[in-house]
């Protein structure tokens, strides 16, 4: 069973419906016991980094999440669920993340670029993936596949070895990572139609 963590900041019902459409067995989990009882974990997220970390702390979900990763369970972070894995974010200040992946979350900045008038923040809509490392969720998905994004901040890992895909928006940025049993994406697979459903199906089959 795949446990989708509900901490009040994710579009979890869309994620749940997409997993069901992909043929997966899923449940919404809200407690440490629910996280520990799931076979795989999904951390979705929409909203501010600061509020998300504070809510996870308040609900005492951080240690169970980290425990599940350390135990070897497959983990998928989506959008804010990717950013929360990093050491810190500069969104509305400086806030510590979960520290699973070394690096920072930074804002798009197109200052001084000649193509800046054509680039918008947030980065919103369909864009292509350049697959650098074939993470398990990309099985039977080709580089150049289009997925759906909505974000103003992106991750900057310290170690390039964790980068799974990049995407171009005023230059390449990291659009997904993969480290051991942990995968996370900046885009929304649940909104990415056939390609996104295939990713969720791949995750469910691991």
Candidate list 123, 151, 190, 201, residue with the active-site label = 190
Which pLDDT belongs to residue 110?
80
What digits encode the pLDDT tens for the residues 137-179?
Answer: 999 999 999 999 999 999 999 999 999 999 999 899 999 999 9
Which pLDDT belongs to residue 117?
55
For residue 24, pLDDT beyond 90: yes
What is the average per-residue pLDDT within 2-10?
92
| Tokens read off for 163 | 């980068």
The predicted model scores a pTM of 0.95
Candidate list 79, 151, 169, 201, residue with the active-site label = 79
Asked whether the beta carbons of 167 and 131 are under 8 A apart, the reply is: no
Which pLDDT belongs to residue 115?
58
123 in active site: no
Q: What's the rounded Cα separation, in Å, for the pair 2 and 28?
A: 9
* Kind plus residue range of the DSSP H or E element containing 188: none
188 in active site: yes
Q: Is the domain defined by 2-205 classed in CATH 3.40.50.880?
A: yes
Candidate list 123, 151, 188, 201, residue with the active-site label = 188
What digits encode the pLDDT tens for the residues 81-110?
Answer: 999 999 999 998 999 999 999 999 999 988
């Amino acid at each position: 069973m795949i446990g989708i963590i509900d901490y009040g900041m994710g579009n979890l019902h869309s994620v749940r419906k997409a997993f069901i459409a992909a043929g997966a067995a899923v449940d919404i989990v809200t407690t440490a016991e629910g996280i520990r009882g799931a076979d795989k974990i999904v951390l979705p997220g929409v909203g501010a980094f600061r509020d998300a970390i504070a809510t996870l702390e308040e609900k005492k979900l951080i240690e169970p999440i980290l425990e599940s990763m350390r135990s070897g369970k497959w983990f998928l972070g989506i959008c804010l669920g990717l950013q929360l894995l990093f050491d810190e974010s500069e969104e509305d200040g400086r806030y510590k993340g979960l520290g699973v992946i070394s690096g920072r979350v930074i804002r798009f900045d197109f200052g001084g670029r000649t193509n800046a008038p054509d680039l918008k923040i947030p980065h919103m809509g369909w864009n292509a993936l350049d697959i650098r490392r074939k993470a398990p969720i990309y099985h039977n998905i080709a580089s150049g596949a289009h997925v759906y994004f909505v974000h103003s901040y992106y991750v900057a890992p310290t170690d390039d070895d964790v980068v799974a895909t990049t995407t171009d928006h005023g230059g390449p940025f990291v659009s997904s990572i993969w480290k051991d049993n942990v995968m996370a994406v900046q885009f929304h697979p649940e909104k990415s139609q056939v390609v996104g459903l295939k990713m969720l199906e791949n995750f469910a089959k691991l």
